[in-house]
Structures are given as structure tokens and as C-alpha cells.
Amino acid sequence: MNYSFWEKYFIESPADVTIIGSGIVGLSTAISIKESRPDISVKIIERGAMPYGASTKNAGFSCFGSVSELLDDIKNMGEEACMDVVRMRWRGLQKLKKRVGEQSLEYDHCGGSELFRSKDILLKESCLDGLEKCNRLIKTHLGLDDCYSLKKNNTLKGFDEVSILNQYEGTINPVSMMNELIRKAINIGVIIMNGIHITEIDQVKKVLNAYNNIKINYENLIVCTNGFAARLIPDLPVMPARNQVLMTSHLKNLHLSSGYHLDKGYIYFRQYNGRILLGGGRNMDEKTETTDEFGNTELIQHYLKDILETIYPGASGQIEHWWSGILGVGNSKYPIVQWLDDHLLVGVRLGGMGVAIGSHLGEKLANEMLTNMDKNNRS
């Protein structure tokens, strides 16, 4: 790379707040900082020509949890913690809709349905047993009535007749969402620097080392690199988890009435402009899929193709595109918000519902950072 003096000076000089990663969290954090303090300079460093993480590669479900996910999370984390996270997702979704607007999100309020295969009989029974409990919890914590209801599935023949509808979910176009966030951020003065890949954070010198011998000084740093965070900060309890996705070409007479989840959310599919988007299944090969390398594997592709045939016989011959994205996961579904030193804050581990939680987390990171900067200025 042949940077001029002017370019190098511009790239390397510090802003008041530097953010690594222009996914939904990095952008939301930057926007929240600028909205409350327009005088503070904010710079986002992004390795890709455009955001190159999960935020532009996801499935576009605007969701906060199916019955099987909630019951599973209650078992693993306890009721209070589970509902804390559900509340964050719900708040995040409201913030996102307000900030970006339903039209710019291409929001479709189609609901989210949980389906069951014949081998999911026990899961189905536990969901039916737990449905009313989940409705009570959602009413108590989100104030929403009758969130989950039984719905007869008579279109998707390969699945049980019983499905469970979450009437408050929908779908979006993730790239439309991100484009609008980028536009908003730039409009209020956030500087976004693309094509700069940070290789090391030097906390002592407060310098970010990047490829091409770039050294960016920082005053205050927020790391929003989610599933890639361990590359820069190896000790964080966040692991990458790859998700593989397919999109078919246009299919005749396709009428999927909502977004769909099965197998506790490990599998998801939806309709987009007459095509089927289907993804997930990392639990089939957890070891291989614990990676931050993009890619597709025969095992998962085969598994997803089988499910695709169940949804729409013949569709596995009409797959137009495969891709993958990287989640940040861990032993808890709480996102990590952690100070590593007085000038370095981390906001990662968004899990599988980061579209929902991202705007809420951005606001939290912004508040944390502004409070800390005020404290440092006073002392």
C-alpha cells in the first residue's frame, strides 16, 4: 500500500474515541456517542471494504427467542438471566426500528414460527408444556400479550402439524440495515476508515498496529469485533462459531408465511423475494464450526440440503448461492461489556440474535465510555 503523507497522517492521528469494527455494534456505539455528545470525535476502523462480519451476512430475523430457546436458556442460565437477555434483545429491536425505520430495514412483520420434525417429539412436548409459562414471562418482562400461540402447519408437509408462532417477530434485509446505519453515522460526523486490518493493540503505547505498517494512536478504544475478538484479545471468553447459509433461486408458488426456526434455533429459514434462505446446523459439526475462517463444508451443506428438500422438494437443485458468517458465542448469552484498562472497553459476544441486541449494546457501550471519559476529565 502506497499511502501519501496526508493519508498516513489522517489515518494515524487519534480521535477522542476509536472503535474497531463497523458491524451493527461498532456503528450503533458510534452513533449513540455522537447523538449524546456531538463534540466528541469518533473514528471507526474496519478491515473490510464494507463491514465484513456477521452484520451483513446474517439471515435477517428480527427475533428475540422461540419457546424452545427460552426454555433451554432458562435451564442453562436461570429465569432471571434469560429474561434479562430477552429484554435486551427486545429493547435493541425497538431502538433499531426507531433509528433506521421499518422501511429502510425492509421490515416484514411476518412473525416467527417454531417447527418440529418427527425426531423432535420430546422437544415439541416440552415446548407445549412450557408455552404458557413463556407467555407469562414475556408479559411480565416485555409487557406483550399472548406472544406465543399454537398454529396449525398445513403447508410444510415434512414437519409436524403443530407449530408455535411468535407474533412479535419479523424479518429484515441486513445490508439495507447496515447501509442506513453507515449513512446515519457519516451524517453526524463519524469517520469510518475501511480496509485497515488491526493486528495488535498496544495498550502501553495506546497504539493500534495494522497491516502496511500503519500505527494508529488512540485516546479511548472500543473493540467491537465480536467473533473475531480473540485474534486481538486472546483471553476473552468469546469463541467464534461459523454459520453456513444458502439462498435458492426464485421458486414457483413459494408461500412461507413467516420466518421459521427449528432445533432450538440451530436451523432457520425464511422467504426472500420468492427464494428460500436457509442456514445454521453448526451443532452437527461443532468442532469444525468453531472457527473464525469463512467457508462452507460438505457435511453442513449436505445437512442443509436435506432440510431444504423437506421444505420444498426439488429446491436442492436450485441453490444459487452459499456463504458463511461468524458469530461470537460463549458459555453465557450475556454480551461481554468489559473494561480491559481505563481507556479500553470491549463489547462482544452477541450470540445468534445480534441484530436484536446490537443497538442496545451500542447504547450501553456509549454510556460506559462517556461516563468514563467524564470521570477521567474531572480527575
**311 is a site residue for ligand FAD (CB under 6 A):** no
**26 is a site residue for ligand FAD (CB under 6 A):** yes
Min CB(335)–ligand FAD separation in Å: 8
Mode of pairing for the β-strands spanning 344-348 and 220-223: parallel
**Given 65, 240, 358, 373, the residue binding ligand FAD (CB under 6 A):** 358
Whichever of 221 and 327 has its CB closer to ligand FAD, that residue is 327
Mode of pairing for the β-strands spanning 148-152 and 162-166: antiparallel
Strand spans (E) along 319-362:
319-329, 336-341, 344-348
**Given 226, 248, 271, 316, the residue binding ligand FAD (CB under 6 A):** 226
**58 is a site residue for ligand FAD (CB under 6 A):** yes
Whichever of 131 and 361 has its CB closer to ligand FAD, that residue is 361
Task: Output the CA–CA distances (angstroms, integers) from residue 45 to 14, 18, 208, 291, in the order listed.
Answer: 12, 7, 10, 23
User: Which span (47-55, 78-86, 160-168, 250-258) binds ligand FAD, by CB under 6 A?
Assistant: 47-55
**353 is a site residue for ligand FAD (CB under 6 A):** yes
**277 is a site residue for ligand FAD (CB under 6 A):** no
Sign of the dihedral through C-alpha 174, 180, 184, 185 = positive
**197 is a site residue for ligand FAD (CB under 6 A):** yes
**Given 15, 30, 31, 54, the residue binding ligand FAD (CB under 6 A):** 54
User: Which span (7-15, 66-74, 129-137, 228-236) binds ligand FAD, by CB under 6 A?
Assistant: 228-236
**271 is a site residue for ligand FAD (CB under 6 A):** no
Of all residues in the shown chain, the one whose CB is closest to ligand FAD is 354
Q: What b-and-e string marks burial along 158-184, b requiring 16 or more CB atoms within 10 Å of the CB? A: ebeeebbbbbbbbbbbbbbbbbbbbeb
Whichever of 157 and 321 has its CB closer to ligand FAD, that residue is 321
Whichever of 111 and 325 has its CB closer to ligand FAD, that residue is 325
Question: Which of these, 206, 202, 220, 204, lies nearest to 339 by C-alpha position?
Answer: 220
Question: Which of these, 118, 69, 87, 132, lies nearest to 268 by C-alpha position?
Answer: 69
Min CB(344)–ligand FAD separation in Å: 14
**100 is a site residue for ligand FAD (CB under 6 A):** no
Taking the C-alpha atoms of residue 242 and residue 152, their distance in angstroms, rounded to an integer, is: 33
**Given 354, 364, 366, 369, the residue binding ligand FAD (CB under 6 A):** 354
User: Which span (40-48, 74-82, 303-311, 371-379) binds ligand FAD, by CB under 6 A?
Assistant: 40-48
Task: Specify which residues 272 forms β-bridges with.
Answer: 275
**97 is a site residue for ligand FAD (CB under 6 A):** no
Q: Which residues contact 242 (CB under 8 A, 6 or more apart)?
A: 282, 289, 290, 291, 292, 293, 294, 295, 324, 325, 326, 327
Residue with cell 469444525: 288
Q: How many CB atoms lie within 10 A of CB 78?
A: 11
Question: Which of these, 335, 280, 367, 372, lies nearest to 87 by C-alpha position?
Answer: 335
**Given 52, 159, 269, 312, the residue binding ligand FAD (CB under 6 A):** 52
**Given 15, 17, 22, 166, the residue binding ligand FAD (CB under 6 A):** 22
> Which DSSP symbol is given to 134?
H
Residue with cell 456463504: 323
Binding site for ligand FAD (CB under 6 A): 20-26, 45-48, 51-55, 57-61, 63, 197-198, 224-228, 231-232, 243, 245, 279, 325-327, 350, 352-356, 358
